[in-house]
Amino acid sequence: MTTATQPIGTRRTSNTSQRKHRRNWRGWLFVGPFAAVFLLVFIAPLAYALGLSLFANRMIGGTVFVGFGNYLTLFADPLFWQGLWRVILVLIVQVPLMLAIAMFVALALDSGRLHGSNFFRLSIFMPYLIPTVVAALMWGFLYGTNYGLVGQLNGFFGTSLNLFSADWILVSISNVITWTYIGYNMLIFYSSLKTISPSLYEAAVIDGASEWQIIRAIKIPHLRGSIAIATIFSIIGTFQLFNEPSVMQKMAPSVITNSFTPNIYAYNLSFNSGQQGYAAALAIVMGLVTVIIAYVVQLRGMRTEEGTN
């Protein structure tokens, strides 16, 4: 902006300010509508949350400005760190596994050696169409140790597996998420594979490449961009984990507590204990954490992509 104003300013000193004004306002006519909507829809809620996070809502004394007090309390709150650690664990274990399976399925569908690939594509995608709340309920019934499928298997094999116990709960929840989102990620990979020009395959076949070599040399390098995108979506989704544990809370109340994931914690702080300011601080910190991690992954993803090209 500074470089643009410089040459005009040096020539006509008397009219500068007036002319500049006019030019700027004309520009705003074009940008204005967008800027207004942008401010209202994107910036205002963020500013509101940011403002909220600096206040504490007290039952006695009303709303008090506390500065960064909420943030300081949050950084010393073990429940927040435990919740964050839980979603990070899910992120480290579940996301790579889910993406690997999704990629495997996409490659299998793309290989063209599968009979009824349309049917498989649709049925693997189907779980994504089921609302996550319904999916969590359904799996919750299957996991039931008393009357669910797990209970029946326990009775049959004489085991006492409890998928709602503290040791298993993350695995149980990860399983639901994996089941739901494999189809979605598979579709991202599959559509990316479909854009590969057939001439590359023909060339590879002429050179005598095996199917495995085609996958390694053509398909996987081509998928790098989609992998980066799918990973970023999964990271955001994992940090926002809410529906599945929230639905299963009734089935495992002492294991899935009100601070199980940062999102559940924020919800309960805001709606059950009236700590909206504290919840806003938590939301903003979680937003920043997500942005940083997603950005780092994106940087890495982009670099490898450029490297191969």
Partner 1 sequence: MKFRTIGRVLAGATAAGLALALTACSSGTAASSATAESFDSSKQYNITVWSWEPTIAADSDVLTAFKKAYPNINVTVTNVGSSADQYTALSNALQAGSGLPDVAQIEYYALPQYAIGSNLADLSSYGASDLSDKYTTGTWNSVNQTTSEGVSGIYGLPVDSGPMALFYNKTVFDKAGIADAPKTWDEFYEDAKKIHALGDKYYITSDSGDAGFMTSMIWSLDPSAIKVDGTNVTVDFSSEKVSKFVSIWQKLIDENLISTTIGGWSDDWFKGLSDGTLASLVTGAWMPANLMQNSPKASGNFRVALAPTIDGTAANSENGGSSLAVLQKSENKAAAYKFVEFVSAGDGEALRIQAGNFPALKSTLANSEFLSSTGAYASEDLLAYFGGQEYNTVLAQAAADVNAGWTYLPFQVAANSKFADTVGQAFSGKTSLTDGLSSWADTIVEYGNGQGYTVTKG
Measured from the CB atom, the residue of 132 and 259 that comes closer to partner 1 is 259
Kindly state the number of chain residues that form the binding site for partner 1, as judged by CB under 8 A.
Answer: 46
Measured from the CB atom, the residue of 67 and 253 that comes closer to partner 1 is 253
Q: Cβ(242)–Cβ(261) under 8 Å?
A: yes
Binders in 3-42 for partner 1, by CB under 8 A: 5, 24, 39
Measured from the CB atom, the residue of 40 and 100 that comes closer to partner 1 is 40
Residue 15's alpha-carbon distances to 18, 21, 29, 246, 266, in angstroms, are 6, 10, 22, 64, 55
Measured from the CB atom, the residue of 44 and 299 that comes closer to partner 1 is 44
Measured from the CB atom, the residue of 77 and 305 that comes closer to partner 1 is 77
Measured from the CB atom, the residue of 199 and 272 that comes closer to partner 1 is 272
Binders in 95-114 for partner 1, by CB under 8 A: none
From the list 152, 175, 240, 257, which residue makes contact with partner 1 (rule: CB under 8 A)? 257
**Shortest separation between residue 129's beta carbon and partner 1, angstroms:** 25
**By CB under 8 A, is residue 119 in contact with partner 1?**
no
**By CB under 8 A, is residue 135 in contact with partner 1?**
no
Measured from the CB atom, the residue of 93 and 166 that comes closer to partner 1 is 166
Q: Which stretch binds partner 1 (CB under 8 A): 86-94, 95-103, 145-153, 192-200?
A: 145-153
**By CB under 8 A, is residue 283 in contact with partner 1?**
no
How far apart (Å, rounded) are the C-alpha atoms in residues 36 and 25?
14
**By CB under 8 A, is residue 58 in contact with partner 1?**
yes
Measured from the CB atom, the residue of 53 and 226 that comes closer to partner 1 is 53
Q: What is the 3-state secondary structure of the chain?
A: CHHHHHHHHHHCCCCHHHHHHHHHHHHHHHHHHHHHHHHHHHHHHHHHHHHHCCEEEECCCEEEECCCHHHHHHHCCHHHHHHHHHHHHHHHHHHHHHHHHHHHHHHHHHCCCCCCHHHHHHHHHHHHHCCHHHHHHHHHHHHCCCCCHHHHHHHHHCCCCCCCCCCCHHHHHHHHHHHHHHHHHHHHHHHHHHCCCHHHHHHHHHCCCCHHHHHHHHHHHHHHHHHHHHHHHHHHHHHCCCHHHHHHCCCCCCCCCCCCCHHHHHHHHHHCCCCHHHHHHHHHHHHHHHHHHHHHHHHHHHHHHHHHC
From the list 117, 258, 298, 304, which residue makes contact with partner 1 (rule: CB under 8 A)? 258
Q: Which stretch binds partner 1 (CB under 8 A): 86-94, 162-170, 206-214, 224-232?
A: 162-170
> Residues interacting with partner 1, by CB under 8 A?
1-2, 5, 24, 39, 43-44, 47-48, 51-52, 55-63, 79, 141, 144-148, 162, 164-166, 250-255, 257-259, 268, 271-275
